[in-house]
Amino acid sequence: MTTLPSSGRTTRSWLIWLTAIACLPPLGLNLLVPLDVALRDALGLTAAQGQAAIALYVLGLAIGQPLAGVSADRWGRRGTLVAGLLLALAGSAAAALAPDAGVLLLGRGLTGLGLSVVLVVPRATLRDLCSGVALQRGMAIISVAFALTPAVAPVLGWALLVWGGGWRVALGVVPVLIALGVVLAGWRHTETRPSGTTPPDWDTLGVLWHHRVPRWVALGFAAISSVFFLLIAQGPAALRESVGLDGREIAWVLGGTYLGFLGGSLWAMRQARLWSGLALCTWGAGLSALGVIAILACAWWPSPLAWIIGMLAYSAGHGVIFPSALSVVMQALPSRAGMAAAFTGMLQMAVGAVVSGGAALLPGTATQRTAVVALIMVGMGLLALLAAHRQGASARREKDA
């Protein structure tokens, strides 16, 4: 264990804090999963508005990340984190108290916009503190939050809906936890931005694009990760339609299968010394593809077991590729860590928002839409990672020559 001279805190204490704060975005996203029917009945939401409550949240996460990256690199990590959490606090409170669908959707969009800082600042802070294998392992540890939270949030949302007093109480958990995050961020998150940080500019996107391997890894990551948002948006309807599950069963199935993400993240952490980030991305993509094939089979042969196996396999692969892809991109731009994390996350969230929102407009049943779109996106991700391997091999040949 090492002690950081800038703050006197150990790397272990930093990882605990960064992992804890990283739970907020997936909590705000997945807590809504079992509330779809209750929100429709209480606020008169149409099916499209129900999908928009998720898509706008994800879109807010996407739009906010490059802004958070600019702010984190220009003005610092701590101030950016506190400001974003305050915006998310206002949005989540509005959503929990919404009198109609319009206020709910506005609140969800603002919540995603504010919480976008939590997808940038912890990653940039970790890059400030370490590099190499330590960075890859740290990213895997932080991504554990993205495994445990989606597993717990749907069950928590259902329990609060049924026993806690309704959907307002369930959504009210989000502003309470964000308020706690504001207090802790102001108290505990000391500034880590290095003095040599490159002044932020939008040319980071061009710099990233000209790094051929990270470019293709970022694109592959965005395509494969979009299925995660698709399952959140379309999964409840597909499970009701294909195998007749009720709200409680859907919460347990979705929550339980996302534990695969935990297994994938832990495996990626243990393998960081043995495999490169690109190799781990490829392993994760292959496992995700197997899961999507199992889900595709449910379009013709509905089976709860096939759904569970498919989502477990996909989420495990997603858990492997999530920290590995981010470490590849951030290692390529060490002096632009905030912007590198921001643009990678922005791409992931933007594709996820388009896929999760657009899938509802396609013809066919919810199961068919989910399975076909998931297969297309994972296939595109695999092609992007294949291009990354080819570019990497070409670069090595040029270096040897």
pLDDT digits (tens, 9 = 90+) for 191-221: 888 776 655 566 666 766 777 788 899 999 9
The CATH homologous superfamily to which domain 11-396 belongs is MFS general substrate transporter like domains (1.20.1250.20)
Structure confidence at residue 305 (pLDDT): 92
* Cα separations in angstroms, 266 against 41, 53, 138, 142, 317: 40, 31, 11, 10, 11
pLDDT digits (tens, 9 = 90+) for 147-179: 678 778 888 888 888 887 789 999 999 999 999
Locate tokens 């858990």: which residue?
Answer: 319
Radius of gyration of the chain (CA): 20
The CA distance from 65 to 281, in Å, is 22
**What's the whole-model pTM score?**
0.71
pLDDT digits (tens, 9 = 90+) for 359-401: 877 888 888 989 999 999 999 999 999 999 888 787 777 666 6
Return left, alpha or beta for 76; rule: phi > 0 is left, psi -120 to 50 is alpha, else beta. left
The CA distance from 268 to 288, in Å, is 14
Question: What is the residue extent of each domain of the chain?
Answer: 11-396
389: nearest Cα among 317, 286, 283, 282: 282
| Neighbour-count burial of 40, counting CB atoms closer than 10 A to its CB (0-12 exposed, 13-18 middle, 19+ buried) | middle
Which 3 state secondary structure label does DSSP give 144?
Answer: coil
